[in-house]
Structure formats: C-alpha cells, structure tokens
Chain A
Amino acid sequence: MSIQKAMKSIALSVLFAVGVVSFSIPAQAAMVATAHMNGITDSQVFGQKVMQEKRDWIQTQLETSGVSRADSVLRVSGLSDSQVIQVHQRMDEMPAGGDALSVALVVFIVLVITDVMGATDIFPFIRPAPK
C-alpha cells in the first residue's frame, strides 16, 4: 500500500519533471560563454574533437602512471581547456613536486657541500654558512 503510493508519487514527479524540461528553452546552445568573450579560446582554435582527444591522451598517461581509471577520469574533467593544452604539450617535462629526501649516496656528499654553500636546500638541518 505504502509502496504503491510511493511508486505513484515517483511516477508523477518523473512525469512532472519531463513536462517541465520539455517546456523550458531547448538548449543554451546559442548563449556565448564568458571565455569566448574574453578572446579566442583553445576550443575554438583546436575544435571540440581535438580537445577531447587531448583530454583522452592525458587520461591514458595518468592511468599508465598508476592512477586509477576513476580518478584519472575525474582529474581530467577538472582541467580547464588551457590547462589541457599545456599538459598535453609537455607532460613529460613538467616538474612533479614530490620528495627531496631520496638521494643516491654518491650525490649525497656533493649535495651536503652545495647545501652548506647555499646553492641547494636538500637537507633542512643544514643552514648555509653566513655571507
């Protein structure tokens, strides 16, 4: 009884929603986006299809670098068009901030010295000699 009632009200609200949608303006297709008024946009230069290909490429790169599919899809969706262009262009050369304290032993000694001289700052406990 109560389930039936619930079903009925769900069905009614769905019908209502469909009605509202079909009465509203078909699309915002002809609205001009803020980005487009600010100058030529990346999506205008490259076209939607190419932009999507770039997004797909970045997503694949993230996945092959060990990011889960769900996360990589979410992450790419959060990038703006101009970010997509940048990342697509030079993802491999882009610096990835991570960890300073994983250094091979050979380099260790060099870096201790350069730290003391104030050229690098690998080891927080080393303060360069005053000048």
Chain B
Amino acid sequence: MKLQRHAYKLVGVLIILITVGACSTPRQTLNIRQDPPSDIPLQQELVSTPFFPQEKYHCGPAALAMVINFRDIEVKPDEIVPLIYVPGRKGSLQEEVIAAARRYDLLPVKLDGELKSILREIASGNPVLVMQNLGLNFYPKWHYAVAVGYDLSEQTIVLRSGLNERLVRSFSLFERTWKRSGYWSLAIVPPGVIPSTVDTDEFLDTVIEFEQTGRSSPAHRAYLSAASKWPSSLMAQIGIGNTAYALGEYPKSESAYKKALELSPEKAEVWNNLAYALVKQGKSTESLDAIGMALQISPDNANYLESQAELRQWAGKLN
C-alpha cells in the first residue's frame, strides 16, 4: 500500500519533469518565429501528395509509398513491405528506406536537419519524409510521416501520418518529436531534380551511392543536372564520364573526362579513365597518350601500369 503510494508519487514527479521540458519553445521554432524565412510563401501545401493509411507497424512502407507515388510511380505500401519491413523489430530501418527509394530510380537526399529546410523543400515542391519519436527518449515510439505543408502565420506543419491524411501540428510539437530522431529528414526526388536546400557535396555524395548500387542511367541524369547547376564541380563531370562509360556511351564519356581535366589537369584517375573511353572508340594512339599522362603524374602507380599493359594489348589487336 505504502509502496503503491510511492510509485504514484514517482510517476507524478516523472510527468512534471517531462512536461517542464515541453513548456519551453524549442530552438528551431523560436528561430522561425523571430526570423521567419522570407524567401518562401507564407503558406504552402502539396495537396496532390497521395495518402495511404498505414497498416499495423507499417508506417514506413505507407510513408515511402506516398512520396514515390507523388512522382507518378505507382506502388502500393504492400509492395514496399518486403523491401524494408523487419518483423522482429516491428518497424523499418532508415537505411533500408533509403535503399528502397533507390530501387524506384529515385534519389534519397538527406536534408540538413533544419525545420526551415523542410519548409523550403515543400515550397519548392518536394514533400519530405521525416522520422519522429512520438514517445519519449526512454519510451520511444518511432514513426515515419510525410511533411506536405506549412503555415507560417499559424506556425503549423501539415503531415500525412499513420491513419491521418491531414494531421496539423504546431512547429513546436513537431520539432520536439522530430528532434528525438536526430532531425532525420529525406527529400526523395527524381534524378533531374536537385532539392533546393542541399549543397554540391551533399548532393553528389548521394548520387555516388546511387551509382554505386548499380543505377547507372538515373545516376547519369543526376550528374548532368548537378553539372548544369554547379558547372565548376569536378565530381559531377567525373560522374557523368563514369556513368556514360558504364552505359556504353563512350564519346559522351570522353567529353566529360576532358571537361574534368580542364577543371583539374592533375587528376591522374581521370586520365586513366579517359584512356579507356578512347580505346573503346578505337582511338588507340590517343588512349596510350592519356594513360601516359596518368603515369607522368603518378609514376609507379600499380593501377595505371596495369591499365597501360591492358590498353597496349588491346591497341595491338586494333591495329
């Protein structure tokens, strides 16, 4: 009996402690209130974002299906379940959500964790997949939702969440639950689109992983859009060259490597790859010149020596 009373007291103290934290306005919300972003409309909502109510434990597949269908790719949450759901965990891991998006030839671009960035992405037409902990740090309830709208005058965000097609939450409540996931937020875009809030390196890192997992053709398109937005990006040109090569488009590959070498003439790896793009077109003399350049920059490099031997052999066959 006495013990029970102590337990009640403990619970009471706990609630007070938790709610004291909830009473202060969280940092990012405060920042938006004091310094609202002036480059976006006061209010925006991507009403065409489809909604799939989640089945038990399946908020991941439901949320992912919404952002994929938004890009006119038809897929049902049930089809995504075998790609991301972990029955033993009664949920889906973030890294698998990212990997699954790639299977639909969409680029999963991680955002910087600023609430303002979510608003800016919505304003530029990109719904944002977010992870929240709707419970508490020591009693987590991990949840995926899609942010589709906001209202700066009301200080609210609009979510497609769980069974709710249009859940309106104050910035401060959203920020508290979102903060517990480490502000995890993902824009999932087609390869020709670059999320408005990401910088060159972040975007290209995403595209490189995209290429690495075998999506050469959409990766090629993504590199092309990166190169037109950031013309001085060396990695964008290299990416164009390597993906064009993988797709068998050697003249395109050659011209991208040459642009890369204009930006960075000492990049021996590019000379090496250029040599391959040239020999594939039957330009054996130029090819051997190119691999010669690579070896001039880094003599004794085993990879380039191997390339040279291979290219000589092949050039011999050509002549």
Contacts and interface: CB of A to CB of B under 8 A. Distances in A.
Interface stretch (B37-45, B113-121, B204-212): B204-212
B139 A107 contact: yes
A19 interface: no
B59 A99 contact: yes
A77 B99 CA distance: 9
A107 B11 CA distance: 10
Given A98-B59, A98-B90, A79 B213 contact: yes
A30 B209 CA distance: 20
B209 A119 contact: no
A124 B132 CA distance: 14
Interface string A97-111: 111111100010011
B269 A30 contact: no
Interface size class of B (residues with CB under 8 A): 35 or more
Contacts of B58: 98-99
B56 A99 contact: yes
A33 B242 CA distance: 7
Give chain B's interface secondary structure class: helix
A97 B22 CA distance: 23
B257 to A, nearest CB: 11
Given A25-B280, A34-B235, A128-B170, A96 B18 contact: no
B91 A97 contact: yes
Interface residues of A, number: 58
A9 interface: no
Interface string B78-115: 00001111111111111111111011000000000000
Q: Which of A33, A87, A107, A119 has the most CB of B within 10 A?
A: A119
Nearest to A23: B317
Interface in B41-72: 54, 56-60
A35 B11 CA distance: 52
Nearest to B294: A32
Interface in A110-128: 110-111, 113-114, 117-122, 124, 128
Interface of A: 23, 25-38, 62, 64-68, 71, 74-75, 77-83, 86-87, 91, 94-103, 107, 110-111, 113-114, 117-122, 124, 128, 131
Interface of B: 11, 14-15, 18-19, 21-23, 25, 54, 56-60, 82-100, 102-103, 131-136, 139-144, 161-164, 167, 169-170, 172-174, 176-177, 181, 204-205, 208-209, 211-213, 235, 238-239, 242-243, 245, 267, 269-270, 272-273, 276, 279-280, 303-304, 306-307, 310, 314, 317
By Cβ-Cβ distance, the 8 closest A-B pairs, closest first, are A96-B91, A98-B91, A65-B88, A66-B87, A119-B22, A117-B19, A30-B307, A96-B89
Given A31-B272, A78-B213, A99-B91, 11 more contacts: A34-B243, A67-B87, A75-B83, A97-B131, A100-B59, A102-B56, A110-B15, A119-B21, A120-B135, A121-B174, A124-B161
14 contacts: A30-B272, A30-B306, A32-B269, A34-B208, A34-B235, A34-B238, A34-B242, A67-B82, A79-B95, A87-B93, A97-B142, A99-B91, A107-B139, A122-B135
